[in-house]
């Protein structure tokens, strides 16, 4: 069906590339980033590095896509310099690992996460973005149908609570549509459960790294199924300890990402 | 004191210590009040994450988060979960698009010019030119063959008969934006011009920022058409599905959804969707839907 989509010269400005990535405008992505820019930067790598250049480029472009989606305006990110730095860091890492399998990665603890171009709010967002595909199915499976339906409607499809009520997508036992405020509550409770599931998942996956029985017990008590986060004691000291454990878990997840990359 | 204000003051940590204690005691004893507080907190968090809190409330909420870094961390985690859920489909489409780009490159056998290796002596000039000419010719032939296969395979051309109502929708585009935001007005006028010229790759990015806010579904319908023509079919399906959930443009969206499914070779879905076109829709849409349903049913049974 496409009638030769690109007949006009393609605009490869930062703004155009930003918009193209945000809207999955493949003709522009292909012409500007995958075509022109990739060809331009690949000449900066040695013959030997060409062997893994394409894989690294694709992986880096996926990361840049995530970062672009985290921004609100094109000027918040310089796509080509950021993409180049991401590719370069990964190429250096891989080259180093090939020469010396025991070598640590270039930057601490993840070259991409440590670059200045990553927006400040990207902490957990960027970490989960790198891992979401492999955990999503498992997480969703643990939600009830009702919980997943509300998250799907509100967050995935972007429906407003009022629209969900109007369309009677959720009804009570009497067949009456649920009110918007109750739908909001349902969404937040489902999200909270998902938050707990994410934490529990990585508590298991990072068992060796989280070799701290106190932290394990504290996070399980706080976010595990046995207890709702709201029911935590509220004591400042407890809160500080839970936070410390959560930050430790975050570091462990970063290590997990690094291990997977190598 | 207005209970709503009291709840907000509680959530924004603006109550004096003794009032806070008294309120927490009430909360423990009154589940209905606890629900109200939870709803108010959910609303506050939604507005905070969407960056729609007014300055004063944002400052107050930030101050509360400064005092409660655990809550800040939890909100960051929630934001991450929302982000990934919100973009899961688009990210899948993006990776699929990347994969297709890589495959396309293989099909076209585009040679990548490696940096010249100085240790290798270049051969005689004439032989290099001859080889380069041959490679360029082959590349051209392969590229032409690839585009011919993409655009004019028998299954694709079978769909060309359904373009008529789509063209009609495109040519009837009339975006009348009545607001006073001149940037938006200018953008939409520019979009309309490019869209009617079928310059979809250029038109689509102009429209993108306005689609979410348009509750009528009109802009999403046009975005879907752009994607349909640009071949990002999963996104087009998503767009038309959402337009169908609204009250306007249901006829157009249903037919377009059927066409998108047909483009995906998802013939059973195409047949179902074409059959779902309402008898109340205009003749052109109904006729196209009828033909499409027939084709789709035939293809389904053939496969």
Q: How far is A76 from chain B (nearest CA, A)?
A: 16
Average confidence (pLDDT) over A78-98: 88
| Rounded Cα–Cα distance for residues A30 and A191 (Å) | 36
pLDDT band at residue A22 using 50, 70 and 90 as cut-offs: very high
Task: Tell me what pLDDT residue B187 has.
Answer: 80
**Minimum-distance CB partner of B151 among A2, A19, A157:** A2
Whole-number pLDDT of residue B109: 39
**CB-CB neighbors (< 8 A) of B147 in chain A:** 4
List the single residue in B46, B89, B229 with the smallest CB-CB distance to A156.
Answer: B89
**Looking at beta carbons, which residues of chain B come within 8 Å of A63?**
none
A–B interface: beta-carbon pairs under 8 A: 172
Please tell me the predicted confidence (pLDDT) of residue B147.
56
Residues from chain B contacting residue A132 (CB–CB below 8 Å): 84, 88, 91
- Chain B residue whose CA is closest to A45: B115
Distances from the Cα of A52 to the Cα of A55, A57, A90, angstroms: 6, 9, 10
* Mean pLDDT of the region A144-158: 91
HEC per residue, chain A? CCCCCCCCCCCCCHHHHHHHHHHCCHHHHHHHHHHHHHHHHHCCCCCCCHHHHHHHHHHHHHHHHHHHHHCCCHHHCCHHHHHHHHHHHHHHHHHHHHHCCCCCCCCCCCHHHHCCCCCCCHHHHHHHHHHHHHHHHHHHHCCCHHHHHHHHHHHHCCCCHHHHHHCCCCECCCCCECCHHHHHHHHHHHHHHHHHHHHHHHHHHCCCCCCCHHHHHHHHHHHCCCCCHHHCCCCHHHHHHHHHHHHHHHHHHHHHHHHHHC
Whether A125 and B83 lie within 8 Å, measured CB to CB? yes
Tell me whether residues A69 and B200 touch, CB distance under 8 A.
no
The pLDDT value given to residue B144:
65
Whether residues A30 and B101 touch (CB distance < 8 A) is answered with yes
- Among chain A residues, CA nearest to B104: A30
Tens-place pLDDT, residues A95-135: 887 777 666 554 444 443 343 333 333 478 888 888 888 88
Res A262: pLDDT: 57
Residue B97 to residue A61, Cβ atoms within 8 A: no
Cβ <8 Å between B76 and A157: no
For range A88-93, the mean pLDDT? 87
pLDDT tens, B86-132? 998 889 889 888 888 887 765 443 333 333 333 333 333 345 566 67
Chain A residue numbers with beta carbons less than 8 Å from the beta carbon of B46 are 184
Which residues in chain B are closer than 8 Å to A25, comparing Cβ atoms? 201, 204-205, 230, 232
Q: For the segment A189-245, what is each residue's pLDDT rounded down to a tens digit?
A: 999 999 999 999 999 888 888 888 888 888 998 898 655 444 444 455 688 889 989
Asked if B42 lies within 8 A of A187 by C-beta distance, the reply is yes
Which pLDDT belongs to residue A105? 53
Instruction: Report the pLDDT value the prediction gives residue A201, as an integer from 0 to 100.
Output: 92
What pLDDT score does B282 carry?
A: 78
What is the reported pLDDT for A25?
A: 92
Angle at B135 between CA B133 and CA B137, to 5 degrees: 70
- Check A194 against B81: CB less than 8 A apart: yes
CB distance A25 to A5 below 8 Å: no
Amino acid B128: pLDDT: 58
- pTM, two decimals, is 0.59
Chain B contact probe: residue of A1, A16, A195, A243 with most B CBs at under 10 A = A1
Contacts of B89 in chain A (CB under 8 A): 156
For position A181, what pLDDT does the model report?
92
Q: What is the ipTM of this complex?
A: 0.83
Q: How far is B112 from chain A (nearest CA, A)?
A: 8
Burial of B130 (0-12, 13-18, 19+ CB in 10 A): exposed
Which residues from B are below 8 Å from A121, CB to CB?
76, 79
- How many Cβ atoms are within 10 Å of B20's Cβ, its own excluded? 14
Report the candidate in A182, A151, A162 with the shortest Cα–Cα distance to residue B32: A182
Nearest CA in chain B to A241: B70
- Tell if the CB–CB gap between A121 and B117 is shorter than 8 Å: no
pLDDT of residue A15: 93
Q: Name the residue of chain A whose CA is nearest to B241's CA.
A: A157
For residue B161, how many C-alpha atoms fall within 13 Å in the half-sphere facing its CB? 12
Per the model's pLDDT, the better-predicted residue between A6 and B236 turns out to be B236
Q: Which residues does chain B have with pLDDT short of 70? A: 1, 105-131, 143-161, 176-182, 303
Residues whose CB is less than 8 angstroms from the CB of residue B227 and which lie 6 or more positions away in sequence, other chains included: B204, B233, B235, B236, B239
- Cβ neighbours of A24 in B, within 8 Å: 90, 93-94, 97, 232, 235
A103 CA: distance to closest CA in chain B (Å): 29
Nearest-Cα distance to chain B for A102, in Å, is: 30
């Amino acid at each position: 069906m496409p009638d030769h989509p690109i007949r006009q010269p393609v605009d490869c400005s930062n703004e155009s590339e930003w918009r193209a990535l945000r809207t999955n405008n493949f003709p522009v992505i292909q012409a500007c980033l995958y075509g022109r820019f990739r060809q331009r930067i690949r000449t900066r790598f040695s013959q030997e590095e060409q062997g893994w250049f394409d894989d690294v480029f694709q992986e880096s472009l996926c990361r840049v896509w995530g970062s672009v989606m985290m921004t609100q305006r094109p000027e918040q990110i310089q796509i080509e310099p950021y993409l180049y730095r991401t590719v370069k860091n990964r190429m250096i890492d891989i080259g180093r690992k090939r020469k010396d399998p025991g070598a640590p990665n270039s930057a601490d603890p993840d070259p991409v996460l440590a670059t200045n171009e990553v927006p400040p709010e990207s902490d957990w967002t960027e970490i989960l973005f790198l891992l979401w595909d492999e955990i999503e199915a498992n997480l969703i499976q643990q939600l009830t149908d009702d919980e997943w339906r509300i998250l799907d409607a509100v967050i995935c499809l972007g429906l407003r609570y009022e629209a969900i009520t109007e369309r009677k997508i959720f009804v009570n036992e009497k067949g009456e549509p649920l009110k918007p405020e109750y739908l909001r509550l349902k969404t937040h409770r489902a999200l909270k459960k998902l938050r707990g599931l994410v934490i529990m998942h990585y508590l298991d996956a990072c068992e060796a790294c989280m070799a701290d029985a106190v932290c394990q017990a504290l996070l399980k008590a706080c976010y595990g199924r046995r207890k709702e986060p709201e029911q935590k004691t509220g004591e400042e000291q407890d809160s500080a300890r839970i936070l410390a454990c959560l930050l430790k878990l975050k570091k462990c997840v970063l290590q997990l990402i690094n291990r997977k990359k190598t | 004191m207005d209970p709503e204000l009291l709840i907000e003051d509680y959530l924004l940590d603006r109550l004096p210590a003794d009032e806070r204690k008294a309120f927490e005691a009430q909360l423990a004893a009154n589940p209905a009040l606890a629900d109200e507080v939870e709803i108010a907190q959910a609303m506050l968090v939604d507005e905070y994450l969407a960056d729609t809190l007014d300055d004063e409330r944002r400052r107050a909420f930030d101050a509360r988060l400064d005092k409660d870094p655990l809550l800040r961390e939890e909100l960051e985690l929630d934001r991450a979960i929302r982000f990934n859920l919100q973009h899961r489909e688009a990210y899948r489409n993006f990776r699929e698009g990347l994969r297709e780009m890589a495959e396309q490159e293989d099909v076209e056998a585009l040679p990548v010019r490696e940096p010249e290796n100085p240790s290798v002596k270049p051969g005689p000039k004439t032989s290099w030119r001859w080889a380069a000419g041959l490679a360029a010719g082959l590349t051209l032939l392969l590229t032409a063959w690839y585009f011919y296969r993409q655009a004019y395979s028998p299954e694709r051309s079978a769909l060309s008969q359904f373009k008529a109502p789509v063209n009609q929708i495109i040519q009837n585009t009339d975006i009348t934006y009545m607001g006073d935001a001149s940037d938006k007005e200018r953008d939409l006028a520019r979009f309309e011009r490019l869209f009617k010229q079928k310059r979809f790759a250029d038109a689509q990015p102009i429209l993108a920022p306005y689609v979410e806010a348009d509750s009528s579904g009109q802009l999403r319908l046009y975005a879907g058409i752009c994607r349909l023509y640009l071949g990002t079919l999963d996104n087009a399906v998503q767009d038309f599905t959402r337009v169908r959930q609204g009250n306007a443009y249901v006829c157009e969206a249903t037919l377009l959804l059927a066409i998108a499914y047909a483009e995906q070779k998802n013939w059973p879905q195409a047949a179902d969707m074409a059959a779902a076109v309402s008898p109340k829709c205009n003749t052109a849409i109904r006729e196209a839907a009828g033909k499409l349903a027939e084709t789709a049913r035939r293809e389904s049974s053939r496969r």
